[in-house]
């Protein structure tokens, strides 16, 4: 199985996207690499198993890629945390701040059971706004959310620290310094 350091070599960096000075970390090169994608899912699944995950939650859209794959690998259910207006039932939702404006996440409140150990899985943790909102929303639905697993951390943006301050342990496969 490929190591996290080998996996890091599969991440493409695109300078000045979406704006000047940003180093965009593109996972499409990782998920398009058969052995790399499989190894990243196995690494995350091993961590989720070791912390007793009962379900995996992922945020739209790239969290669906890794979260659903990890859930399938562990034979667990997957809880989709969606953008607004995507679910055909009564939902619970949370608004959260973005750098410029706000956004919203929604979910089916019946997707988790009271006290269920739900682990958040996503591709990348940057400022942490979306992951923190997802943790709060899942907790509002009754889940126990003590862990989040990411492929990439951008530690300079502080998102992992924000999650830790909210009582969520954060583990990642790799880090990239800078924006």
- The pLDDT score that the predictor gives to residue 105 is 97
* β pairing state of 117-125 and 101-107: unpaired
Helix 62-74 / helix 34-50 crossing angle, nearest 10 deg: 70
Which of 113, 157, 158 lies closest to 138 in space, CA to CA? 113
- The pLDDT score that the predictor gives to residue 98 is 77
* Mean pLDDT value of segment 49-70: 97
* Mean pLDDT value of segment 21-39: 96
pTM score, two decimals?
A: 0.96
Interval 77-133: pLDDT, tens: 999 999 999 999 999 999 998 777 899 999 999 999 999 999 999 999 999 999 999
* Mean pLDDT value of segment 150-165: 96
Task: Look at domain 52-175 and name its CATH class.
Answer: alpha beta
Three-state secondary-structure class, residue 145? strand
The residues annotated with a catalytic role in the active site are: 62, 99
Whether 25 shows a pLDDT value over 80: the answer reads yes
- The pLDDT score that the predictor gives to residue 179 is 57
Q: 29, 11 in Cβ contact below 8 A?
A: yes
- The pLDDT score that the predictor gives to residue 100 is 75
- Mean pLDDT score of the chain, rounded to an integer? 96
Measured in whole angstroms, how far is the alpha carbon of residue 156 from the centre of its chain? 18
């Amino acid at each position: 199985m490929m190591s996290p350091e080998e996996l890091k070599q599969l991440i493409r960096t695109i300078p000045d996207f979406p704006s000047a000075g940003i180093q965009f970390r593109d996972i499409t090169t990782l998920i398009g690499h058969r052995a790399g994608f499989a190894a990243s899912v196995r690494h995350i699944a091993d961590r989720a198993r070791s912390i007793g995950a009962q379900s995996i939650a992922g945020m739209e859209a790239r969290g669906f890629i890794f979260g659903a794959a990890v859930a399938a690998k562990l034979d667990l259910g997957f809880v989709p945390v969606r953008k607004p207006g995507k679910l055909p039932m009564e939902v619970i939702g949370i608004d959260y701040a973005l750098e410029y404006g706000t956004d919203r996440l929604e979910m089916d409140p019946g997707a988790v059971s009271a006290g269920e150990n739900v682990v958040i899985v996503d591709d990348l943790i940057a400022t942490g706004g979306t992951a923190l909102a997802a943790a709060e929303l899942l907790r509002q639905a009754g889940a126990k959310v003590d862990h989040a697993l990411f492929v990439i951390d951008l530690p300079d943006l502080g998102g992992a620290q924000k999650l830790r301050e909210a009582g969520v342990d954060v583990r990642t496969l790799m880090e990239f310094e800078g924006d």
